[in-house]
Structures are given as structure tokens and as C-alpha cells.
Structure 1
Amino acid sequence: MTGVAKQTGGCQCGAVRYRASGELGYPHICHCRMCQKAAGNYFLPLAAAMRKDFELTRGAPKWFQSSDLVRRGFCGDCGTPLFYDIPEADFINITLGSLDEPDTVKPVMQSNTGRKMSWFHALDGLPLEPQPETSDRENAITASNHQHPDHDTQKWPLGETS
């Protein structure tokens, strides 16, 4: 289908993978305290995939009922936050950082800014660490990387025979 986006993504260890066809709706950054806690971060970027266009392609998330209205899906093995779900809605929210190509979805809004960190405006003024790291360290990290690659795989980990 021309003009219809397909997004794939999953957790850090590769145990849970998903695919969403169609455009992701309302990409935004939520600053609410619940999202901060769920992400273990200062905010949580989310976008909605229509349920009819969404499928799990590997594994299944574990769920935490964070309120009477909302549950949050995450990988039970590595802990990656994946979904913000309102079960009766016709969409499911995907965490944008779990996309294989997160740079393709630009947030259009911020929500719950009452809990936004007061110092965010100063981030661009922070000094930058020297680049690059030593090649020995980069090579050691690359050689020992256990993170799932940013694309679908037939099996994972790659060394598995089944």
C-alpha cells in the first residue's frame, strides 16, 4: 500500500517484537509522573497505533495495571517499557524509543507539562563529552553486545538453533 507507514520495534533483549502498519497517531512526549516512573526517565514519548493495524510478532509483554483505566506493557525479561494501553480503546500507544527507527516519528505535542523538569531549557548548554571513545572500548562493546538489532530477525538470539 503506497503512503502507509510500517513501523517495527521491540524490547532491548528481543523477547518481545511488534509491527504497526499505518501512520502512528498523536506522537507526543508525556511528562506526567506515572510516565516518568514507567520509563525510569524524565518523560515518555508515545504514539498511537490502531489495534487493527498492530500485531505482536514475537513473544508477549507483561502488563502492569498503573491505574483503573490504563495498563502498561513491558518486556518481562529485560524490562523495556513498550506500551501504554487503554484496553477498551481502538488503539494502543507504543513507546517511541522502542521503535527500530525512532527518528522517523517526530513528536507534535507535549502533555502534562506541570511535571516537566524545570531545567530542560538548559540542556543544550551542557558541555559535551569528548568524542569518540577509545576504539578498544568501542570494539569491546560491539563484540559483547547482547541487544537485539533494530530490525526483525527470524530467531533471537542469533546463535539459537530453534
Structure 2
Amino acid sequence: MDRIETEASGGCQCGAVRYHVTAVLDTSHICHCRMCQKAAGNFFIALIGVPRDAITWTRGAPATFKSSDKAARGFCRNCGTPLTYDYAGSKHINLTTGSFDDPSAFPPQVQFGTEGQLSLFEDLPIKAEGTTEEVMSDLVGAIKASNHQHPDHDTDRWPA
């Protein structure tokens, strides 16, 4: 695993937990295993390794759930956003790629846990059906007007 020096921040949906990283590993991936599906509440989870010395929790800290004797999952205790996968004894921690302010900076390079992969994801990429505005046009205005989600950048305090 190669260490890549970078500057990136991220955090949970409500802003109670924020982090900053100064390096990542070249391990950006998605995992289809059933445990990751359950942890993400989704078809798969996207993760990237971060050396332990390269992460700083800048606001709050994740709560954890020991998903096995060897691993713990970190999440925001307020909003439930999945944030980490931490394998006991590893020199790095995995952060959920979607929790970065700019997740496009870390595109997945490989897939794991394919024993749990749903057949509809065998031929990624998936056809796009349209933007949120196009698909949910009747709700977009109300959602934007009542949005409680933290913005995709660091703030001095939250809520504003």
C-alpha cells in the first residue's frame, strides 16, 4: 500500500463529527460483503485507508459498534452517518469515501466482498436516470428549504 500525501476534510451529515486527513493509502475500494452492506444500509460501502498518524478529528469523535471481534464501525451518534471501518491491529483506519467533502477525489480502484455482490452491480457503471431535481421535482424545493445537513466544508461551529 502506497501512502499518498494530500489534504482533505470530511464528516457526518449533521456536522457533529468532522475530520481532516494529511494522507491516504492507494486503497480506495467498494466492498459488497454482507457485513458492509448492513453497516452502510446499502448495497455496498465505499472506503479508503488512512494512516492513523494522518487523521485528526476536528469536531467530535465517532461512536463505535464492534461488528466483530476483529473490527469496529464508527458512526455519528447524532445522525447515524457511517464514518469508519477499523480492523483491530491495522496500521490504518478506513474512512467512508462518501463522508469526504469531495468524495470524487478518491474514486474506487477495486471491489471486494464480491460474494455478497448483488447481480445488478456485476456490470458497473450503472446507467444514470437523471438528477435529483429531475426525479424528485415536486420535493426539491421543500427539501432545500428545510435542509439540516452540514455543508461540504469546514465550519467554525455547527449548527450555524
Give the TM-score range, shorter chain: 0.7 to 0.9
Change (3 A) 1:69 1:125: same
Q: Residues of 2 paired with 1:89 and 1:147: CA distance?
A: 32
Q: Residues of 1 paired with 2:67 and 2:119: CA distance?
A: 25
Q: Tell me if 1:131 matches 2:134.
A: yes
Change (3 A) 1:128 1:139: closer
Aligned to 2:156: 154
Judge conservation of contact 1:25–1:49 (CA < 8 Å) in 2: no
TM-score (norm 2): 0.87
Q: In percent, how many aligned pairs have the same letter?
A: 49
Residue correspondence of structure 1 range 1-162 to structure 2 within 5 A:
4-120=5-121, 121=123, 124=126, 128=130, 131=134, 133-134=136-137, 137-158=139-160
- Cα deviation for residue 137 of structure 1 reads 4.2
Q: Structure 1 stretches (4+) deviating beyond 6 angstroms?
A: none
Judge conservation of contact 1:6–1:23 (CA < 8 Å) in 2: no
Q: Residues of 2 paired with 1:87 and 1:114: CA distance?
A: 23
Superposed CA RMSD = 2.2
Q: Residues of 2 paired with 1:48 and 1:126: CA distance?
A: 28
Judge conservation of contact 2:24–2:48 (CA < 8 Å) in 1: no
Change (3 A) 1:141 1:66: same
Q: Which runs of 5+ in 1 are unaligned?
A: none
- Cα deviation for residue 40 of structure 1 reads 0.1
- Cα deviation for residue 125 of structure 1 reads 5.1
- Cα deviation for residue 87 of structure 1 reads 3.6
Q: Which runs of 5+ in 2 are unaligned?
A: none
TM-score (norm 1): 0.86
